[in-house]
Amino acid sequence: AIVIIVLKVVDKFRQLFKIPPLPYLEDTWWGPRNKSEEDESIKPFTINVSDEIINDLHQRLNNARPFTPPLEGIQHQYGLNTKLLTEIVEFWRTKYNWREREIFLNKFPQFTISVQGLRLHYIHVKPIDPDGLRVLPLLLLHGWPGSVREFYEILPFLTNPQPGYNFVFEVIAPSLPGYGFSEAAVRPGLGAVQMAVVFKNLMDKLGFKKYYIQGGDWGGVIVQNMATIFPEQVLGLHSNMCFIRTLSSNIKLFLYSFWPTLLLPREHADKVYPLSSKFANTILESGYLHLQATKPDTVGVALNDSPVGLAAYILEKFITWTNSDWKNLEDGGLMKKYTYTDLLDNVMIYWVTNSITTSMRLYSETFNKAQTALGITK
């Protein structure tokens, strides 16, 4: 009997650590139209927001309800400081010029194409003068609360020859489904795993069989999924958010807390330990995640109806996630690394497309039992 119990325990243990098999993933039809009606052509796309939307925005900025002042002695510890927000809104109202920004945003060739029933927006930049260099296709994926705007400064570097390299990139930078100018799913289920399928199909339709992939935030998660599910397509993965969360990584994390330098070099130990303060910080910064993973449709109403509210919600992340010390600066430190214009470009992409709610649904579609049970991130 003891032998049976021991064998059972060992077996259970093995099951917990076993890498699950790759699940079968369908090419679900995510869009509103019938398959037979779907226009499969690639269409050039230009951002051209109606005057109505821009006038409405200005009306709302001009008539924003009075902000609640921050508590005495507080900078951004309770969230976005409304003194900073006042400054940003004033800039938005009086200096930010959308029509000029539209010209800027349209500087790269943009297209839309239908993938699994969704008309997806993407930027497609080919190197102008490869001049004998190898041209490598590169899929760039953004995250939340980002957008294709995050890549505008690096696109010229990627698509122009760099000294010392015999290759250059042809870049495809889509808007995630439900973000910006990409259509959103009409039925539930489009989580980060299913998005990997969508982007593999996107690249396939554009004629790319093998390509490099890069992502951060949700983009990092999705490229990780793509590399797991479609390794034959992926020549290489570059991520600025290599995220590991498995049972054995958790156990290791805990065990090594007793002797961190066995796991990491001394100078990196404080990026991981002490676990308690890292955990406390995670709790402090993940309220948005908890809310979006459970009630995106609730909070989406206010964020899509109030541009100042949307700006507060998004820009708070640009403060704390760029440098967590910036929370203690009354101006949030933003001007050290960004201009308000660039930051507002990103906010505008969410505003003019009414896409904040559908963008947040990616959280609830991914952080649920069904998606976790697929086990792809293991």
Q: Interface with other proteins by CB under 8 A: which residues? A: 56, 59-60, 63-74, 78-82, 85, 184-188, 283-288, 290-306, 308-310, 312-313, 316, 354, 357-358, 361, 364
Helix H or strand E encompassing 173: strand 167-174
Residue with tokens 């996630």: 321
Closer by beta carbon to other proteins, 26 or else 129: 26
Token reading at 270: 């404080």
CA dihedral over 125, 131, 137, 141, signed as positive or negative? negative
Q: What is the DSSP string of 269-294?
A: HHHH-SHHHHHHHHHHH-HHHHHHHH
Closest CA to 23 of 228, 277, 185, 296: 228
CA distance 347 to 350: 5
Cβ proximity of 16 and 250 under 8 Å: no
Q: Which is nearer to other proteins, 151 or 351 (CB)?
A: 351
Residue 268 or 295 with smaller CB distance to other proteins: 295
Tell me whether residue 52 or residue 129 sits nearer to other proteins (CB atom). 52
CB closer to other proteins, 168 vs 193: 193
Question: Which 8-state DSSP code applies to residue 191?
Answer: -
Minimum separation from the CB atom of position 72 to other proteins (A): 4
For 68, 82, 312, 317, the CA distances from 79, given in Å and listed in that order, are 12, 9, 9, 10
Q: CB 345 → other proteins: shortest distance, Å?
A: 20
Q: Is 230 helix (H, G, I), strand (E, B) or coil?
A: coil
Q: Which is nearer to other proteins, 54 or 264 (CB)?
A: 54
CB of 60 to other proteins, least distance (A): 8
Q: How far is the CB of 191 from other proteins (least distance, A)?
A: 12
For 357-377, give the DSSP string.
HHHHHHHHHHSSHHHHHT-TT
Least distance in Å: CB of 3 to other proteins? 26
Closest alpha carbon to 362 in 154, 137, 160, 177: 177
Q: Which is nearer to other proteins, 213 or 362 (CB)?
A: 362
CB of 58 to other proteins, least distance (A): 13
User: Shortest Cβ distance from residue 300 to other proteins (Å)?
Assistant: 6
Q: Shortest approach of other proteins to residue 354 CB, angstroms?
A: 6
Which CB sits closer to other proteins, 186 or 253?
A: 186
CA distances from 75 to 69, 72, 83, 145, 336 (A): 11, 9, 9, 22, 17
Bridge partners, 211 (sequence order):
234
